[in-house]
Amino acid sequence: MKHILVPIGISPDAHRTLQYAVDFAAVFSSQVYVMEVFNVSVGAGKSLANVPQKLAESGKERLKEVIEKIDAKGVNIKIATYNGGIVDGLKDIDRELGIDLIIMAPRSNDVTEELYLGNTSGKIIKQTDIPTLIVPKGSVMAPPKNILTAFKSGILKRNRILNPLLDIKKKFGSTVNLLLVKTPGYSDADLRINTALMDVSSQITMTEAPTTYLGVLEHMQAQHPDLLCVFRHKRGFFKKLWEKNTIPKSEFSARIPVLVLSVKKD
């Protein structure tokens, strides 16, 4: 896990998310990139020609202020600004550097308390294929001892989708428990669990529930995991939820970090 990216929003607690990311990166000897995006289009007027440059400089100064609030712990932190949309910016940086993990708060730029994922954070999860660790506001990084990995289909096209989970398990010595939630309309194929996924854990539980989230909620209350791991693909955990960018807390919420695994496009 060489490169970790942290999108910085306007939240006054942005430094707390960055501190979590730095503490996490220190364990893996990773390099951290903090990123801010701005969106400005300049017309033909020459007087506005330097607006993007000024905004980029202003963004860098703000990111420096955020960085100054944390304990860097010897982690190499670099600043990245981007003129354009957050999704395009992430994809460009990923193509250039190869981002192994995004660490972000559930609501990066949205303060609506009814939302688990705001519009910006929802776009990152829904529209990119980069593994993401969603860290609840104010969380302090601690080694996850118990990881609940939940899914409704055991089919994985590529074993490398599991790399972040395997890295975390190995580095922290975590115990991984698998949970297969059978929802209405499941097929026999859904019950065929990828061998690489089976190798992650010696324990697998199968349960039936109206939705994957309700099945997971029941087992979270029983197992008290430190980390919830889910998959983002067509048959994944948030199949219905991710049809839109925002996710209300009434539909999904978690007080622990959530690792969202997704296959990068080749």
Mean residue pLDDT of the chain comes to: 79
Domains delineated in the chain? 3-104 (3.40.50.620), 146-262 (3.40.50.620)
Q: What is the pLDDT of residue 125?
A: 73
Q: Tell me if 146 sits within 8 A of 224, measured CB to CB.
A: yes
With cut-offs at 50, 70 and 90, classify the pLDDT of residue 108: very low
Does residue 246 have a pLDDT over 80? no
> What pLDDT does 62 receive?
82
Instruction: Please write the tens of the pLDDT for every residue from 48-89.
Output: 445 456 656 766 788 888 899 999 999 999 988 777 777 788
Q: Look at 146 and 12; give whichever has higher pLDDT.
A: 146
Q: For residue 110, is pLDDT > 50? A: no
Nearest-angstrom CA–CA distance, 203 and 218 = 17
Per the CB < 8 A criterion, the answer to whether 248 and 116 are in contact is yes
Q: For the purposes of burial, counting CB atoms within 10 Å of the CB of 96, is it exposed (0-12), middle (13-18) or buried (19 or more)?
A: exposed
pLDDT higher than threshold 80 for residue 202:
no
What pTM value is reported for the model?
0.83
pLDDT at 42: 46
Per the model's pLDDT, the better-predicted residue between 128 and 177 turns out to be 177
User: Alpha-carbon distance 170 to 161, whole Å?
Assistant: 16
